[in-house]
Every structure is written in C-alpha cells, then in structure tokens.
Amino acid sequence: MIKYRLICDIEHEFEGWFRDSADFDSQSNEGLIECPACGSDEVRKAVMAPAIARGKASRQERLAAIHKDMAKAVERARTYVEKNFDYVGEKFPEEARKIHYGESKERGIYGEASGKDVKELIDEGVQIAPLPSAAKKTDKAGAPRSSAPSTADKKLN
C-alpha cells in the first residue's frame, strides 16, 4: 500500500491509499478519484517529502503507524460530515429516500439506520455510505462521553 497526499483543481488537500503507483494512475485516468470536499475528479498528487526509513522499524510499528494515519483520516472525514451535513437522526432512511426521489432538496445528510434499512436503501439505488465512528470526548450536546460506544454508535450511520 502507498499513501499519497492529493489535491483537487480548487486546492482541497486530502490523502488517498493505493495498492501501488500504477493503481493511482489507473484510477486517476478513469476519473475514479474524487475530492471528498467538492467532488471534483480533477485530482493530482501533491508534492510530498519522501518517507525515509530511520532504522529498522518492526512490522508491528509500521502497522501501528498505518493504523494511526487511518484513524486520523476517519476522524477528519467524520468531523467534515458533522460540520457540513444535516443531522437527521432516526429519520435518515426517510430523508435519504426523499432526496433520492426528488421530494426534498438535495443536500448532505447523516443519521442512523438499521441494517435492514441500509439494505433496502441500497436495493432502491439510494447512494449511501457508512459514517465511520471516531473517538469523541463529548456527545452532540457537549456532554462528556464514556469510552464505551452508545447504542446509536452501534447502528450504521
């Protein structure tokens, strides 16, 4: 796996993981890479400093570093969604359908859905994606959050 810093045509920066450099080239040529902020498929590699090995890191250390990078990316994605999308809670399946069928204004939403609801939405062709959970110190109301996930966190977002 290789991680690239990417940048879209309006200068949004983000990261992407690829099997190898040929995988990036192939996906880029087919327009399969999109900016998560604006949806542009005009994406290129940003200038990066090379990763120079500083000794022999163990496999475990390398995996831990990858896990940490991925956790940061998940946290950034979730934070972006929470700041820019409308939270609709348990009404997610209903709102997603309304948007899909043009009965409601197109906008980004997030909320909760059961596995059954998710399957039905996918079968109907509604484009959805799970919102990865991220470690948070407070809930939406600003109250301290325990380290154990709530029942809402266990549902698909």
- Residue 15's nearest CA partner among 27, 6, 26 is 6
The total number of structural domains in the chain stands at 2
Question: Taking a C-beta distance cutoff of 8 angstroms, is the pair 6, 44 a contact?
Answer: yes
The structure's pTM equals 0.49
pLDDT of residue 148 exceeding 50, the answer is: no
pLDDT digits (tens, 9 = 90+) for 87-123: 999 999 999 999 999 999 999 999 999 999 999 999 9
**Which residue range(s) make up the domain with 99?**
79-154
> Residue 64 falls within a domain, yes or no?
no
> Residue 70 falls within a domain, yes or no?
no
Both structure tokens of 70: 């991925």
Q: Looking at the structure, do residues 92 and 30 belong to the same domain, yes or no? A: no
> Residue 60 falls within a domain, yes or no?
no
> Residue 37 falls within a domain, yes or no?
yes
* Burial (CB count <10 Å: 0-12, 13-18, 19+), residue 96: buried
Q: Tell me whether strands 86-89 and 109-111 are parallel, antiparallel or unpaired.
A: parallel
pLDDT digits (tens, 9 = 90+) for 54-63: 666 778 888 8
Q: Looking at the structure, do residues 103 and 39 belong to the same domain, yes or no? A: no
Of 15, 33, 51, the position where a domain reaches its end is 51
> Residue 74 falls within a domain, yes or no?
no
